[in-house]
A and B are shown apart, each in its own frame.
Chain A
Amino acid sequence: MAHSTTLEPTAATTTYTDAPRTGTWDGGNEPFKASYGKLMMWFFLLSDAFTFGAFLTAYGMIRHKHGVFTGTADKFFFSTAHWPIPEKVFNGFPGLHGMDLPLAFVALMTMILIFSSVTMVLAVEAGHRMDKADVQKWLLWTILFGAMFLSSQAWEWSHFIGGSEKGLLMADGSVMHGANLATNEYGPPLFADLFFFITGFHGTHVFSGVCLLVWCFIATTNGTFEKRGHYEMVEKIGLYWHFVDLVWVFVFTFFYLV
């Protein structure tokens, strides 16, 4: 086992216990069979999952602390006494003013993000084949869908902040329209706070992702990855992008459906 003759065990010590170990976790190899960069991206995403997990856990706790509207959905009314039913809050659609289209716009946003995930994974696949033109094409599509999602969220926010024409009659006789961090017409103040923090944090992640993708597109066009011999950077940014999509899947369920 030993390579050097000076370290050769003597004939008397037949049970030589200090031989170099060659197991999976004994060093000198890659137990995860993943590169440093990809591994660090996974660990970052794990920590990010805890951040969003904390947000959604806080949402669950605060929602269960508040009262539940016990009647049927068609008799629902906005009040600070109970948590709002999401489909009564998010029922607008750009260009279709005054119509009740529950969750239609958020369905569109979900589809945009799923599409962006598909184009991202297509870019990664093109990178594996060293197909520069295809990587460029799919990165551009992903940037486009990302920008579309961000614009949709901007509309969603302005609609939420602007509120309905009817508004909510306050105890002092005034009428409250829309939402801010202190009060909102939809329900308990914390409902709007959680909406701003959770979707805002997710939107910031999408924005960072779009910035990374734009940079990645420029580097691809300049031939940086082609010279490097691999498109692993596309893969790492892809991991981040899919994670952002994953977070939306959970936000969608717990904020809009449940």
Chain B
Amino acid sequence: MSAHATTEHAYVPGEIAKPNTGWIWKTFWVLVIITAVEFAIAFAMTNPELRTFRNSIFIVLTILKAFFIVGEFMHLKHETKSLIWTILIPTALLVWLVVALVTEGSSIGETLAHMFS
């Protein structure tokens, strides 16, 4: 046993630790399942009257996916609080921008549609 171990160690400078990949594959399955659910909803919920409700589900699931990618894969969840807020607060301002300009777009569309009536 000892002879075998010595020949192996001759090739490897220093000890290489065992891979710890459980959390990576867990995050992977979470992302796959959320994406599958999104597809299922896209095809199951086709009633035009439920459009707003369906889109809200999509947005919630997208933000959930973003949370797992940024938090686990980009490791932000495990950084210091100050770094987390430095990234999150400016990003949160985008939400306001989206809401403001989407409202603006609807208003422009309404105005154009009723311009001559």
Q: Which residues of A contact B66 (CB under 8 A)?
A: 246, 249-250
Tell which of B32, B46, B102 has the most Cβ of chain A within 10 Å: B102
The chain B residue sitting closest to A226, CB to CB, is B13
**Which residues of chain B (74-103) have a CB below 8 Å from chain A?**
74, 79-80, 82-83, 86-87, 90-91, 94, 97-98, 101-103
> Given A62-B105, A65-B105, A71-B48, do A250 and B62 touch, yes or no (CB 8 Å)?
yes
A249 lies within 8 A of B17 (CB)? no
In this assembly, does B115 line the interface, its C-beta being within 8 Å of a C-beta of chain A?
A: no
> Given A32-B79, A257-B38, do A125 and B101 touch, yes or no (CB 8 Å)?
no
A61 lies within 8 A of B105 (CB)? yes
A39 to B80, CA, bound (A): 12
B69 lies within 8 A of A246 (CB)? yes
Q: Nearest Cβ distance between residue B94 and chain A, in whole angstroms?
A: 4
Q: Which residues of A contact B59 (CB under 8 A)?
A: 253, 258
Chain A: interface residue count, which band? 35 or more
Interface string of A94-127 (1 = CB under 8 A from B): 0000000011000100110010011011100110
In this assembly, does B53 line the interface, its C-beta being within 8 Å of a C-beta of chain A?
A: no
**Which residues of chain B (99-117) have a CB below 8 Å from chain A?**
101-106, 108-109, 112-113
A57 lies within 8 A of B38 (CB)? no
In this assembly, does A230 line the interface, its C-beta being within 8 Å of a C-beta of chain B?
A: no
Report the tally of A-B residue pairs with Cβ distances under 8 A.
137
> Given A129-B19, A253-B59, do A67 and B32 touch, yes or no (CB 8 Å)?
no
The DSSP consensus for interface residues of chain B is helix
B73 lies within 8 A of A42 (CB)? no
Interface string of A16-39 (1 = CB under 8 A from B): 000000000000000111100001
A114 to B24, CA, bound (A): 12
Q: Nearest Cβ distance between residue A249 and chain B, in whole angstroms?
A: 5
Q: Which residues of B contact A249 (CB under 8 A)?
A: 62, 65-66, 69
| A-B residue pairs in contact (CB < 8 Å), sample of 5 | A65-B106, A65-B109, A130-B14, A238-B74, A250-B66
Residues on B facing A (Cβ under 8 Å): 14, 16-17, 19-21, 24-25, 27-28, 31-32, 35, 38-39, 42-43, 46-48, 55, 58-59, 61-62, 65-66, 69-70, 73-74, 79-80, 82-83, 86-87, 90-91, 94, 97-98, 101-106, 108-109, 112-113
